[in-house]
Amino acid sequence: MIEAVILDWAGTAVDYGCFAPVRAFVEAFAHFGVAVTMEETRAPMGMLKRDHIRAMLGMERIAQVWRTVHGRPATEEDVNAVYAQFEPKLFDILDGYAAPKPDLPDTVTALRAKGLKIGSTTGYTDAMMAIVVPRAAELGYAPDLWISPDSVGGKGRPYPYMIFENLKALGVTGVRRAVKVGDTVSDIREGVNAGVWSVGVIEGSSELGLSEAEFAALSEREREIACRRVEDTFRAAGADCVLRDLHPLPALLDTLNAKAD
């Protein structure tokens, strides 16, 4: 039987579209004369933010632009310099991006009614979560537990250690008795590497990269094409299941329990 659900934060539970870190990354790179695209910025989403910057600086186009602008390849010192710009920019806006996604409250109520524990992992640091967690609680969302990369020696996604800490703290009796839900490729890989059920959620995800208004403005065909693209990406990363939004999650758990019987 499934005993716990482990949710990601931005893009999965709060911050529809995962816009807070995107905005801060774009502004941080711009400070150094490097314009980055939304696609480039979102590709490593879900990782520890310093690792995210390192991954972006390793992208071929960004690496070339950095060399052109600065006359040399990016170094680890540059990772630290970009992060030094990124962090305060994110801190300035985080409390405005902690609102639960529309499908979260009813889903959490249904999960609680099943007696399930609700854990969470994140790419945010402890200092960032010190802003997000209380604000989300004020707005109605408070999981039983959250673990950041700071709690596992900086080894965030796609390492499985944040999930393992959740399983230990929540007293989950086996990896296949937990479900990890996320909105990025690194979320999916985190779940796969931990051996838990790994589930992707499409609407409001960083992978989809659209605000509520932008998604609503699409035609039905455009929505289906966009959602299919995200589903294919999650499946390729190893997702066991992909949901359009969080509402079907309680029913999915019933299906997983039936498979285990």
**Residue 126 CB burial class (10 angstroms; 0-12, 13-18, ≥19):** middle
Among the listed residues 237, 12, 236, the one whose alpha carbon sits nearest the alpha carbon of residue 122: 12
Active site residues: 8, 49
Among the listed residues 229, 248, 231, the one whose alpha carbon sits nearest the alpha carbon of residue 240: 231
Which secondary-structure segment (H or E) carries 5?
strand 4-7
Q: Which tokens belong to 206?
A: 């960083």
ω into 158 cis (within 30 of 0) = yes
Cβ pair 12, 187 in contact under 8 A: yes
At 111, the amino acid letter reads L
What gap in Å lies between CA 47 and CA 67, rounded to an integer?
A: 24
Cβ pair 211, 99 in contact under 8 A: no
Rounded to 10 degrees, what is the CA torsion of 180, 119, 244, 175? 20
